[in-house]
Amino acid sequence: MYRWFTLSYLDVGDLLAERGRGLQVFWTVTLILAALCGWAASCAASKSREGRGMNGLALLGRYFAASIRSQMQYPASALMLTVGQLAATAIEMVSIWALFDRFGAVKGWRFGEVMFFYALINISFSIADFVTRGFDVFGTDFVRTGDFDRLLLRPRSATLQRVGHDFRISRFGRFLQAAFILAVATSSL
C-alpha cells in the first residue's frame, strides 16, 4: 500500500530491464538538460547591439538577483508563499494517492508511474512559471500601462527583459515537492 514511500535499491541494470522505464527516465532527463544548456548558451552568446557591454546571461543574472533581493525584503512572506505552493501541490498528490488506494491500478497504470508523470509535469510547470512570469503580466502590467514602450527603447531584446521581469521564489515549493516525488517514483519503477 505504501510501497512508493520506501526507496528500493535497484541497480541500473534492473531499472533498465523493467519494461524500458529506466531508459525513458534517462532520455527525459537528458532532453531537459540539453534544452537548459542550449538556452543558457544562446543567452551567453547574445551581445548588445554595439558588440560591447554586458551579455544577455549576465544581465539575466542581475535581474534574477534584484528580484530575489526584493522578495527577501519580507522573508516570512516569501517562506509562506513557498510553503503555500508546496501545500497546494501536496493536496493534489494526496488526492491522486486516495484514488489509487481505493481503486488500485487504473488500466494498467500503477501509482508510481502516474506519480512519475505528475512530477515531470510539475517540474516543467514550476520552471516555466518561474522563468516566464513577465509574459503572464504582459498585457496588464505593460501594454495597458504603457510601460512596454520603455522596454522597446532599451538596447536589449524585449524578450530578455520580459524573462527578467520577475522571478518568483514561491515557485520553488512546487519544484522541490515535484523533485522529491520524481526521485521516489523513479526508484519505484
103, pLDDT greater than 70: yes
- Write the DSSP symbol of residue 109: B
Residue 23, pLDDT score: 52
In the three-class reduction of DSSP (H, G, I as helix; E, B as strand; rest coil), residue 167 is classed as coil
What is this structure's pTM?
A: 0.63
Question: Which stretch, 34-43, 88-97, 138-147, has highest mean pLDDT?
Answer: 88-97
Decide: 82 and 173 in contact? Cβ < 8 Å.
Answer: yes
Q: CA end-to-end span of the chain, whole Å? A: 15
What are the extents of the domains in the chain? 12-188
pLDDT digits (tens, 9 = 90+) for 150-168: 878 878 787 888 777 777 8
Which of 2, 36, 26 minimizes the C-alpha distance to 112? Answer: 2
Cell numbers standing for residue 116: 512519475
- Write the DSSP symbol of residue 5: G
Among 12-26, 32-46, 125-139, 171-185, whose mean pLDDT is lowest? Answer: 12-26
* CA separation, residue 155 to residues 39, 45, 46, 49, 50 (Å): 20, 16, 12, 7, 9
Residue 95's pLDDT band (cuts 50, 70, 90): very high
Residue 11's pLDDT band (cuts 50, 70, 90): very low
Q: In angstroms, rounded to a whole number, what is the distance separating the alpha carbons of residues 118 and 23?
A: 18
